Amino acid sequence: MFSYRHAFHAGNHADVLKHAILVQILDYFNRKDTPYWVIDTHAGAGLYALDGEWAGQSGEVVDGLDRLLDAPQPPELVARYLRAVQDFNPDGVANRYPGSPALALHALRPHDKLRLFELHPTEIEVLESTLRQLGAPRRQAAIAREDGFGGLKRLLPPPTRRGIVLIDPSYEDKQDYRHTLQAVRDGLERFASGCFAIWYPLVQRVQAHEMARALERLPVEWLHATLTVRKPSADGLGLHGSGMFIVNPPWTLHEELRAALPWLEKILAQDEHARHTLETSARPAAGSPAAARPRPQSQDRAPARAQKRSPSRK
């Protein structure tokens, strides 16, 4: 596990999907005054230099965030995410990319809390310095140098009984699929009303497919979005797409994703195999206007389409 550095992938198409959804969930939680916790089981370094050694070397941001910067008419989910990224780049040049801890801190009110887990010694150092740089009060944001799957258990339920749990392992270790599923099952036993957001890679691994199907069988309200940007490579290497599975999603998220996914597919497509899916459980989200009436399972699958666009960095 110690070889993975998220800086290499910062701002790529998978980060775009994950972070646009995370920012939407945070925004939704902020609509109520009641305090909440954000628990990030796999935090990474927090903030990334896009012109730095790692991200600059991989160039993955060119086919991710960069494509969004000049694209016309972003839907609200994307526009909100871009505003959050731009807040970290006040000079207008997108050179700093906020990871999940930075995006969470950006959204939290003084009475909300952030709990971060990270195991990589270098990432922990950078994360600590990121929190200092962002002026996070120690009482509000804390880093635990421990396994996020194990540590999550003792934080649930959060004292405020409102919370977002982001589970975002690198899946370099194929056991991460099993651990993620178990963490959600255990988490729901302790905190049934919690919002759990699980990111996973679309890779040619049976474990990825099985984990997604097992999550869909959970007897809870869920929403499942995937975004594929290109044909899987013949050698099975690289990331051709990713998925986000959200348990107890904000009831507004489905409509926002319905508008955003076709747009993201078009802008991020690398070949004619680009596509997206959006599925939900049949149960309406508590608090939604639809909660009072039964709703059929929704499946929005868009046909594959081609889109070419010259990448640019501002």
Interacting residues with ligand SAM (CB under 6 A): 1, 4, 6, 18, 40, 42-44, 99-100, 117-120, 123, 147-149, 168-170
Query: Of 42 and 275, which CB lies nearer to ligand SAM in the complex structure?
Result: 42
What H or E segment, with its residue span, contains residue 80?
helix 76-87
**Nearest CA among 270, 70, 195 for reference residue 82:** 70
- Residue number, 148 or 241, with CB nearest to ligand SAM: 148
Nearer Cβ to ligand SAM (44/194): 44
Q: Is the dihedral of CA 231, 17, 13, 45 positive or negative?
A: negative
DSSP 12: S
User: Cβ of residue 8: shortest distance to ligand SAM, in angstroms?
Assistant: 10
Q: What's the closest the beta carbon of residue 124 comes to ligand SAM, in angstroms?
A: 9
Which residue is nearest to ligand SAM, using beta carbons? 99
How far is it, in rounded angstroms, from Cα 172 to Cα 62? 23
**Alpha-carbon span 236 to 238, nearest angstrom:** 7
Amino acid letter for position 27: D
- Helix H or strand E segment including 200: strand 195-201
CB of 4 to ligand SAM, least distance (A): 5
Using an 8 Å Cβ cutoff, are 276 and 226 in contact? yes
Cα dist from 158 to 162, 179, 246, whole Å: 7, 21, 18
CB of 242 to ligand SAM, least distance (A): 11
Q: CA angle at residue 54 from 61 to 106, to 5 degrees?
A: 65
13 vs 42 by CB, closer to ligand SAM:
42
Nearest CB to ligand SAM, comparing residues 120 and 240: 120
Catalytic positions are 168
In whole angstroms, the minimum distance from the beta carbon of 152 to ligand SAM comes to 9
The 3-class SS string of 241-289 reads EEEEEEECCCCCHHHHHHHHHHHHHHHHCCCCCEEEEEEECCCCCCCCH
